[in-house]
């Protein structure tokens, strides 16, 4: 849990990638957090997945399953 908290702080809280300017309201924090979670879970390039996003990897995985199940 410490690792994910550290990543969140470094990538979302201490930068302006997921928000513009300082946080002024709780809604600002929630909006930036939602953007970071979306990026982290779906779009970031992941080294252990061959430098593709989790979405791309999952799509390729299910496409391969579909090809294997088709009769020859």
pLDDT above 90 (res 70):
no
Tell me: the pLDDT tens digits for 39-52? Answer: 998 999 989 999 99
Q: What is the DSSP letter of 49?
A: G
pTM over the 0.75 mark: no
Q: Which residue has the tokens 């979670």?
A: 37
How many separate helices (H) and strands (E) can be counted in the chain?
3, 0
* Domain regions of the chain by residue span: 2-69
């Amino acid at each position: 849990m410490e690792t994910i908290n550290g990543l969140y702080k470094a990538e979302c809280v201490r930068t302006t990638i997921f928000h513009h300017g300082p946080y002024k309201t709780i809604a600002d924090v929630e909006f930036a957090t939602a953007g970071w979670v979306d990026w982290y879970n779906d779009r970031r390039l992941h080294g252990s997945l061959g430098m593709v996003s989790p979405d791309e990897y999952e799509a390729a995985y299910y496409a391969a399953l579909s090809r294997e199940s088709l009769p020859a």
